[in-house]
Chain A
Amino acid sequence: MIKSIRMSALAAALVAATSLSAAAETVYNRGNSADPETLDQHKTSTTYEAHILRDLYEGLVAYSAKGEIIPGAAESWTVSDDGLTYTFKMRDDAKWSNGDPVLAGDFVYSLRRIMNPMTGAKYANVLYPILNSEAVNKGELELEDLGVKALDDKTLEIKLNAPTPYFIQLLAHQSGLPVHPASVEKYGSDFVKPENIVTNGAFVLASFIPNDAVTAIKNPYFHDADNVALDKVKFYPTEDRGAALRRFQAGELNTNNDAPLEQIDFIRSELGDQFKVSPYLGNYYYALNHESEAMKDPEVRQALSMAIDREFLAEDIWGGTMVAAYSLVPPGIDNYGEPAYAEWKDMDLLDREEKALEILESKGYNESNPLKVEIRYNTSENHKNTAVAIADMWKPLGVEVSMLNTDTKTHYAHLRDRGDFDVARAGWIGDYSDPQNFLFMTESDNDGFNYARYENPEYDALMDEAAETIDLEKRAAILKKVETIFMRDLPFMPLMYYGSKNLVSDKVSGFETNLLDVHPSRFVKISK
């Protein structure tokens, strides 16, 4: 009872604090792809959920406006020499939105919660580098066996299974955000309701109305609150990109994180540099089924890949919002150098086509005996256009393409259930900036992502070796070897690196393009 009075007093204070300055209230109207499935960070899986959750919560580490890792709830950390033990020192002034201090124990509770199989966390496996986490998540070990310990209120120790150079990057993922233990214990899954929620980020949830907006208001207890310029952030689900563009033009949205591709020329001429395209940590690729008759020959796969004019796809089909990809790992990623590009990357397209034609002819394919290939894709205008363009590029080689499209759920369910296919569209956005986060997809035991059913013991062994290697340069060299094998065997045919497409009003500052496309609202300022 007393607690609830205190809570409502706080709520009243918050309301008063915001309404007092109502005249000068700064509201950031932020277009954000879609509604979150849930605001329970441990149950989310998408980037648009992450945008909201990183504003509400602060993990041990956080992102700067440029997408670099900065200290979050932990002010500093040390790594043991063997790379297996991380010790975090908690920030003294880190507080929850009800005034409670943020303690090391809160993170122990949170990490145990996400690994608890009862939680049903979709993305728990991102944190599998933590000692015993996989066994805990599979219900084979107790929660207490998880390698996370509070040495005291201000010191957190995390032990890992293997040295994981990207572990700090990993902690910035939404799965690493803490929950307020007392609220979760008290309200169960209802702790996410605006009246119950307690957060430790720059903002705290005020309301969530599906298909309308998620509204968050400034958290006065946030340690860096003095530097937070916004009073309120409203996240709008902007599924209709055309409508979002009009709302942006009318000044109803300050930013939106996507743009209608069919209007790219108009947008460029109309909005000028308010339309920001920049490289994004992702790859748009075609998975080639190594078990299918059409795709089992490595030379045929290579020939098909060679004949694709990727610049045309990126520039003409995708309006310059994608970048032609000749490797799986996007360039500019952390802990890596130049990716391993396709051997023929710098060859002239005409020569490539000629060579591809030669290869297919030597395999006995020609116009009277065409190679029959089916491309599967999930329904979308651009996926269709891409497939049509590729079919057209393959046609002169004596390839007969048929197409099949299904809705997204059906598409991925088919790939995962090892349904029959030749070529299937897929895409991958990295969860953290490390090449491992791309190359792990085609390990032979990766049932979920290895759509190609690629099996190569050498590939697997090198991946294991990289996982054991602490020295970053040596590790990068091993991973590059892995990617070279990948580009030779082509389980996936990389087509384009994704680009991020943001509409950013001239009045907005502190919204900087970056490889991860993360834009914490706490750094955003809006001029009148």
Chain B
Amino acid sequence: MLRYVLSRLLSAIPTLFLIITISFFLMRVAPGGPFDLERPLEAKVMENLNKIYNLDKSLWEQYLIYLKSVLSGDFGPSFFFRDFSINELFAQSLPISMQLGLSALALALAVGGFLGVVAALRQNKGVDYSVMAVATLGVTIPNFVVAPILTLIMGVHYGWLPVGGWGGGAFVNMVLPVVTLALPQVAVVARLTRGSMIEALRSNHVRTARAYGLSGYTVVVVHALRGAILPVVSYLGPAAAALLTGSVVIETIFGIPGIGRYFVQGALNRDYTLVMGTVVVVACFVIIFNLIVDLLYAMLDPRVRFD
């Protein structure tokens, strides 16, 4: 298995390299540069700024310089947040986004999974219909609607929870963002679980288990759910990568200093290094989570082998 993991990680290197290369050159196609303001700069000042940030060199040289520093783990200085390097920005914001994302993921898995199983067991009954109705709502109402409504009710009207801010990661500050982030995932997980659970409950091995007279719990959780969870796992891989790398909407509405906002801020401010940094981070997360999904698959599904 270690061999498999290693080979997967090694094969990720050319992928990453390709992603870095493509985004590096694509980004430079956008008109305007990081130092373009409404008020233009003196030529000499611009020249010095370009020199400081290596923008005076040819694009190829800049590309090589960038590759070299990325290889040594240095994402360079931020063009926009000029008091910080990209590493400093990420060191500070990524843990926050991951904490939020993981909490939302855990919540989605627990609640969504539970709802899905319940719906499947009561297929075509009232419970099933209401769970599916709620799930459909959860997917269709965007989080930029859910978030303001939740804050208006819980924060402004009742004053139970803070409307915004991170408060150093205090529990009360996390409730609303985590719930908002988790809602659509709850819905998806519930639907996926329900679908595959219904199928699993009708499968031969579950029927056999029932025939053996195993308890309801063992049949549902050990035998049916184990197979039924597979589509959820493959969905959660990319979903987790997206959740853990922050959400620009949630972070902006709740005023949370996560990494999600840097995607938009980097692009709008032509902060080249910030954009590259976020691209690399997302790429790494996607690669790692796809690997984790594959490993989980092998653990859950006896039919899958590493070779």
Contact = CB atoms under 8 A, between A and B. Distances in A.
A246 interface: yes
B48 to A, nearest CB: 5
Contact of A210 (B38, B93, B269): B93
Interface size class of A (residues with CB under 8 A): 35 or more
Nearest to A411: B32
B261 interface: yes
Interface in B240-298: 251-258, 261, 268-270
B36 A246 contact: no
B125 interface: no
A243 B42 contact: no
B83 A250 contact: no
Nearest to B249: A240
**Secondary structure type dominating chain B contacts:** loop
Contacts, number: 140
B92 A412 contact: no
Interface in A96-133: 117-125
Interface string A335-353: 0000000000000000000
A414 B38 CA distance: 11
Interface string B21-46: 00000000011110111111111110
Most A CB contacts (10 A, CB to CB) among B151, B163, B253, B257 go to B163
Given A242-B148, A247-B164, A250-B163, A117 B40 contact: no
Contact of A246 (B31, B38, B155): B155
Nearest to A138: B44
A35 B89 CA distance: 13
A410 interface: yes
Contacts of B253: 240, 242-243
B255 A243 contact: yes
A212 B36 contact: no
Nearest to A29: B165
A252 B270 contact: no
Interface stretch (A38-46, A54-62, A321-329, A469-477): A38-46
B151 A246 contact: yes
B269 A409 contact: yes
A364 interface: no
Task: For the complex of A and B, list the 8 residue pairs with the smallest distance between their C-beta atoms, beginning with the closest.
Answer: A448-B40, A413-B32, A409-B32, A212-B257, A38-B82, A211-B257, A120-B49, A117-B44
Given A45-B37, A137-B42, 5 more contacts: A117-B45, A120-B48, A139-B44, A208-B83, A210-B84
Interface of B: 30-33, 35-45, 47-49, 52, 80-84, 89, 92-93, 148, 151-152, 155-156, 159, 162-166, 251-258, 261, 268-270
18 contacts: A37-B80, A45-B39, A119-B45, A122-B39, A122-B41, A137-B45, A211-B258, A237-B255, A240-B253, A242-B253, A246-B164, A247-B164, A249-B163, A250-B162, A409-B270, A413-B36, A426-B38, A448-B40
